[in-house]
Amino acid sequence: MNHTKILIGVVVLFAVIGVPNAVAQGQHKNADSSAAKDHVPMEKVVKSDAEWRKQLSPEEYEVTRKKGTERPFTGRYWNTTQKGIYLCVGCGAELFSSDTKFDAGCGWPSFWDMLEKKHVRVQVDSAHGMVRSEIVCDRCDAHLGHVFEDGPPPTGLRYCLNSVSLKFVPAK
C-alpha cells in the first residue's frame, strides 16, 4: 500500500470518528463568541413521546424528534420569499427571519443568520458517517437542520433547515 492511500485513509478516519468540524465546536471563523459566552438557555419544553406524536404530523415528528430530513425541493418554505418570521413547529420559539433568508440552490430554506441566537443550539452530528453541525431548537430540542460554512456575507454561514421543522408567520 502506498503512502497516499494511507494518508487518505487517516484523513477519512479522522473525519468520521473524531474530529468534529469547527462550526459544531463554535470555533468557525464567523462565530459570535460573545453569544456563546452569554448564552442563557430558554425554559425547556419537555413532552413525552406520545405528546409529541399527538401534537406533530407524522413528517414533523420524524424530522424534529427522530432527526429525519425532508427531501430537497419538497418542503413548504424552500422557495418562500414572503416577509415574516420562522418559528419552531414544536414550541413556537422565534428562530429565523425572512430578512436573512437566501436561495442557496440546495432545496431547503437557507438563512445566513439566526433571529435569536439563544433560541438555536449548534451541536456535533456524527450520524451517517459524516461530522456536521446540527442545529436544534434550544427550547424543545427539535432537530431543525444543519449549518455550513458556505453561506453569503456577512456571516459566511448557511443555516439549512427542514421546512417541516418550521412554522412561518407572515409580517403584518
The model's pLDDT over 49-99, given as tens digits with 9 standing for 90+, comes to 999 999 999 999 999 999 999 999 999 999 999 999 999 999 999 999 999
Distance CA(119)–CA(95), nearest Å, equals 6
pLDDT in tens, 126-135: 888 888 899 9
Residue 100 φ then ψ, to 5°:
-110, 10
The pTM assigned to this predicted structure is 0.76
Choosing from 88, 91, 137, 160, the catalytic residue is: 160
pLDDT bracket for residue 153 (50, 70, 90): very high
Contact 167, 86 (CB under 8 A): yes
Residue 94 near residue 116, CB atoms below 8 Å:
yes
Q: Alpha-carbon distance 166 to 143, whole Å?
A: 10
The residue ranges of every structural domain in the chain are 21-170
Taking 50 as the threshold, does the pLDDT of residue 119 lie above it?
Answer: yes
β-pairing, 84-88 vs 120-125, is unpaired
Least confident of 33-42, 85-94, 121-130: 33-42
Phi, psi dihedrals of residue 88, rounded to the nearest 5°: -70, 130
Question: Where in 52-138 does DSSP place strands (E)?
Answer: 84-88, 94-97, 101-102, 110-111, 120-125, 132-137
CATH for 21-170 (2.60.40.2580, 1.20.140.10, 2.170.150.20, 3.40.640.10)? 2.170.150.20
Verify whether residue 160 is a known catalytic residue: yes
- Beta-bridged to residue 161, according to DSSP, are 145
Among 52, 55, 76, CA closest to 65: 52
